[in-house]
Amino acid sequence: EAQVTQNPRYLITVTGKKLTVTCSQNMNHEYMSWYRQDPGLGLRQIYYSMNVEVTDKGDVPEGYKVSRKEKRNFPLILESPSPNQTSLYFCASTEGGGNFAEAFFGQGTRLTVV
């Protein structure tokens, strides 16, 4: 089954403790991205990757890092989490290009930083 898998689904952590949210896709997509979703703000892109070893900032990259060492995996790293990074996070993998790109989203990771 074609899917995007995120782990963990839920995470509570303390300020300053480094964490990683993993994302894996089995569709051989080149393009992957991370979003955060906050009430009233919708989905905002954090980082994206157009291919292995190619990453770039989205709209809200501050406080986040990513890596793309292999096509299927795109982990999101919070080196020193702060309470304002409490949010619902989604990883997405994009099929196709040109006029028909469709984003497939993971199940989401609900992060709470206390």
Given the rule CB under 8 A, which residues bind other proteins? 4, 30-31, 33, 40-45, 48, 50, 88, 90, 92, 94, 96-103, 105-108, 110
Closest to 92 measured CA to CA, from 45, 58, 52? 45
For other proteins, which is the closer residue by CB, 59 or 79?
59
CA 84 → CA 8, 73, 75, distances in Å?
A: 19, 26, 20
Closest approach, Cβ 25 to other proteins, in A, equals 12
Closest approach, Cβ 97 to other proteins, in A, equals 5
For other proteins, which is the closer residue by CB, 11 or 103?
103
For other proteins, which is the closer residue by CB, 40 or 114?
40
Closest approach, Cβ 91 to other proteins, in A, equals 8
Handedness of CA 102, 65, 23, 68 (dihedral sign): positive
For other proteins, which is the closer residue by CB, 14 or 101?
101
